[in-house]
Chains A and B, each alone.
Chain A
């Protein structure tokens, strides 16, 4: 027994040394294979019944396609619809469909599938964002290549939401087992999945559009940011889809094997203030806190200076973006005076944050800067998502919190008085409604008003906009620089 162990060990060492001779640690078997690292793994493949960003990130635009998609400038552009027209009352949409499109199970894509997919959101989807589709009254199949969608009221938000997973097109013959067998019209199909490790996508041989440059894409799921960086450094992967440890960026910039692509995202890191509860129901107190925080310094500390200061709930890729980041310049003296005027001295606030790295580091800066104006804060990290969602988001049991709001155009949440902001402004609600039903020009004008009003009311303090930082091998090109859609769009990636 004892004698056998060293023999085994020797055998093991032999195998190891034999294998390592001449081979690299790369999973990229050939030039046609690309391996992309992500931090969040899809729980399953069914984004109609499972929430979270990871599933559409992997599948949308890659495996599933909609009538329209978002480009990296945030514009709605054609995908499965060649073109569309909107009736003068803005309630009827006529979509002309691209011919010759097939689902990966061989079924042809027609207007019947448009009807099936859009109506199915109301009946079969269970995730909460489905309510955006409530405005669909009915869908007519005018011809196999012509679908007409009639809304119960005009809605700009509806067309925009078609660029998200809500607009994904399904075949009635391909929805039997969405959680494990996705069937879409996209350039890739899911070839394999190793839970806790990876998802393998292969090029769809019957794809209607341009063939993707990489015939195999391995999506590697690596939760730990250091492990993710190590995987890229040691040739385990070719791309880090989004850097979650900003301190590591200079190390990649300094190495010519790699490139760093930085753009913007939809992800506003927000200091939420409970508008519904004293003392933060007093606009002077909220403004004072906004003056008290040096957002530039906070960005430097919490995210290595990468990111954009915004001043309201609008990323630069939205058509109504204005730079409002200087409305409340850092002014602790003024903050103190305003707090005194509001009779809000000796404040002690609960800063209840998710236990995520960006929130923890930002919270420490907020705490020390608020202390400088005499506001004491107690930082309480809560297990995310479970406990934060329950206590802060659902029960509104908080004074201050720090969280990224990642959804596109989530400024509309300020129109819901029951949302955890506790913000209730009739003017903002009216402006949001007008913007949704109006022409694109009206929409832009009204949304600017909303953003300014939120800024004036200091409804929250928008600390910074998360950057989108992709790090990749130098040889890979074609990345979507600004992360504005829900998809990690693989379709344009190519060797360069």
Chain B
């Protein structure tokens, strides 16, 4: 078991390094000169050259890369060309917002998917079960931003119950924080919930057909009791896998939802940084996202072995 985890850690580290190189090269070949964007029109060639030197983008790529990654390893992401701020603290700040959003979205998804999926599986021969399946089918087809636009129209513009966007940190005003998070979390979570419902349904269906459930029922348990006591843990293994994969999708969905709801998260920071060719900032954000996704995969792998003792072997 330890060897297995160690191997996973090694793969994780190598993946991060490779990703950092790819990200760096991608930025280097992107058309557009950061100095020109920072200085604007009418910039003289001398001023441009001076600014490139100040940014350090006139040096060889290899030097730039090692400087950057060396700094990152010490926790220093460098200073933004545009905001002139340290990137690291900014990243943490924005990551906080995105994590709240993704977390709340995931919560919404689970709250929908687990009961709905289980219900659809248990009642799969009934019209109600088919109805839930059908609804989830429709939900899968709706992109998160569209859900967001519709929710804003109804709850913010028409009813004026909730803000149409904006962010209040939880330590500043917890009530406003929650109110601001409801619509973005719903627009992200409803769609994910629909996707997950389908996985939960098939996992539960699969479990329902297993011999041990039949055994449990023959001992006198009602179907629901049997499922809760013996089935759900088994059904959760494939669902956790999908959850891991969905988390990556959720991160990407968050980028769009942040723009729709004006949330100062990593996604909106990334879009702004790309537009202004703030290369160091883009590199930092992408690296954090890549590490996040890899980390999720790593955790999912470990979770497997916890959930299913059969996987604990070699």
Contact = CB atoms under 8 A, between A and B. Distances in A.
B178 A179 contact: no
B166 A128 contact: no
B61 interface: no
A75 interface: no
A385 interface: yes
A179 B260 CA distance: 28
A389 B157 contact: no
Interface stretch (A42-50, A136-144, A335-343): A42-50
B160 A234 contact: yes
A25 interface: yes
Contacts of A25: 156, 160-164, 179
B152 A230 contact: yes
A223 B162 CA distance: 20
A20 B179 contact: yes
A393 interface: yes
B160 A389 contact: no
A236 interface: yes
A126 B51 contact: yes
Interface residues of B, number: 64
A197 B169 CA distance: 11
A277 interface: no
B164 A224 contact: no
Interface stretch (A8-16, A62-70, A282-290, A298-306): A8-16
Interface residues of A, number: 56
B178 A16 contact: yes
Nearest to B276: A43
Contacts of A234: 152, 156-157, 160, 163-164
A27 B163 CA distance: 9
B163 A19 contact: no
A231 B153 CA distance: 11
Interface in B164-187: 164-167, 174-176, 178-179, 182
A52 B83 CA distance: 12
A15 B178 contact: yes
A129 interface: yes
Contacts of B179: 16, 19-20, 25
A222 interface: yes
A368 interface: no
Contacts of A235: 160
Interface string B37-58: 1111111100100110000000
A439 to B, nearest CB: 27
A387 B34 CA distance: 10
B149 A226 contact: yes
A441 interface: no
Contact of A128 (B31, B43, B262): B43
B164 A223 contact: no
Interface stretch (B1-9, B106-114, B122-130, B212-220): B106-114
A127 B40 contact: yes
Interface string A28-58: 0000000000000101101001111000000
B69 interface: no
A328 B242 CA distance: 64
Nearest to A222: B262
B23 interface: no
A195 B84 CA distance: 13
A390 interface: yes
Interface string A226-245: 11001101111000000000
A16 B262 contact: no
Given A8-B107, A20-B162, A231-B166, A387 B31 contact: yes
Given A9-B107, A227-B164, A227-B165, A389 B37 contact: yes
A161 B114 CA distance: 64
B90 A385 contact: no
Q: Interface centre among B38, B164, B179, B275, by most A CB within 10 Å?
A: B164
B201 interface: no
Contacts of A18: 175
A152 interface: no
A5 interface: yes
B157 A5 contact: no
A194 B93 CA distance: 10
Interface string B254-278: 0000011111110011011001110
A348 interface: no
A126 B47 contact: yes
A162 B93 CA distance: 38
A231 B165 CA distance: 7
B76 interface: no
Given A6-B111, A43-B276, A197 B166 contact: yes
B82 interface: yes
A51 to B, nearest CB: 3
B164 A236 contact: yes
A389 B111 contact: no
A224 B50 CA distance: 34
Given A5-B111, A41-B272, A128 B42 contact: yes
Interface in A199-242: 220-224, 226-227, 230-231, 233-236
- For the complex of A and B, list the 6 residue pairs with the smallest distance between their C-beta atoms, beginning with the closest: A386-B32, A196-B264, A51-B40, A128-B42, A234-B156, A230-B164
13 contacts: A2-B232, A5-B107, A5-B111, A6-B111, A18-B175, A20-B179, A25-B160, A43-B82, A43-B83, A128-B43, A128-B44, A227-B165, A236-B166
Given A25-B160, A128-B43, A386-B37, 18 more contacts: A20-B162, A44-B82, A126-B39, A128-B40, A129-B40, A195-B264, A197-B167, A197-B262, A197-B264, A224-B262, A226-B149, A231-B166, A236-B165, A385-B275, A386-B34, A387-B31, A390-B32, A394-B33
